[in-house]
Amino acid sequence: MTEPLTHSPAAPAAEEELPPPARRHRVRAALRRVPRRLRSLPPWSPLAAGVLAGGLLGAGYGLLTTPQYTATGYVVAVPADQSDPASALGFAQAYGRVATQLAVLGDAQMWAHVPVATLERSVRTATSPDAPMVSVTATSADPEEAADMANAVARALTRHAADSAADTHVELRQFARATEPTEPSSASTAVTGLVGASAGGLLGGLALLVRPRRAAREAGRAAAPVPGPAPAADVRGQL
C-alpha cells in the first residue's frame, strides 16, 4: 500500500520590498521633516552644539598628541683680558646664530646619540640683547633625550668657540646645564579641550547671531499684504 501524500503548510511569503519609487518618496519625506525639526530646536542650540563639538575635538586632539618635553641649557660669552668687554655681547649674538648650523650639530650628534636631522628639527637657540648669553633649547617626547640634545649642542658650541678664541679673544663657557624636565611643555588634554570648547562656542555664537536675521527675512517674505478695509459707501442720499 502506498501512504497518502501529505502537503506541508506553505511558508508565509516574505514581505515584498518596497519598489524604488516608494523608497525615494520616503527619503524625500524624511528630508522635508529635517528643517522643521531644526526650527523647533531652542534658539541657543547652535551655541550648545558648538561648545560640545569643540570640546570633544579639542580633548581628542590632546589625547592623541604625544606629550613633548623641553630642556634648556645656557652658555655665556667671556672676553679675554686684552679684549673689549662690550665685544662679548656681539659674539654671543653671532654664536647664537651658528649654533644650529651643520658644523656644530655634526659634532653634537656624537654626544646626543641622535641624527643631525633630529637636532635640526628639535633644537632652537635664543640670545639676549642685554647679556652675552646663549640659551639652547631642545624638545623631544623623551625628557632624557631632550636634556641630552641641549647639553650636546651647548658642548659642541663651546668647542667651536674655543677653536677660534685666539682670533676673537672671546670664549664660551657653560653657564647652566640642561636638566631632565619633569612635566611636559605641551598643552594638556584639559587645556586643548577648553580651547576647542571656546572656539566651538564662538562659532556657535556667530551662528546664533545670524539665525534671527534669516528667520526675519523668511517671515517677511512669507507674509502676504493684508488689504485695508474698504470705505463704506454713502447711501444716505439714496434713501
* pLDDT at position 219: 53
**Pair 140, 172 in one domain:** yes
Is residue 131 a part of any domain in this protein? yes
Residue 76 β-bridge partners: 133, 173
Q: Are residues 74 and 168 in the same domain?
A: yes
Residues 61 and 84 in one domain: no
The pLDDT assigned to 1 comes to 46
Question: Would you state the pLDDT for residue 230?
Answer: 52
pLDDT of residue 147: 94
Residue 206 falls inside a structural domain: yes
Q: Which residues touch 122 (CB under 8 Å, ≥6 apart)?
A: 138, 139, 140, 146, 149
Cell numbers standing for residue 96: 647664537
Residue 183 lies in a domain: no
Identify the pLDDT of residue 138.
94
Q: Report phi then psi at 186, rounded to 5.
A: -75, 160
Nearest to 41 by CA among 210, 209, 208: 208
pLDDT of 35 reads 63
Do 129 and 148 share a domain, yes or no?
yes
17: in domain? no
The verdict on 87 and 148 lying in the same domain is yes
**pLDDT at position 130:** 87
Residue 153 belongs to a domain with what CATH number? 3.30.70.1130
Domain count, the chain: 2
Spans in the chain with pLDDT lower than 70: 1-41, 211-239
Structural domain boundaries enclosing 152: 69-176
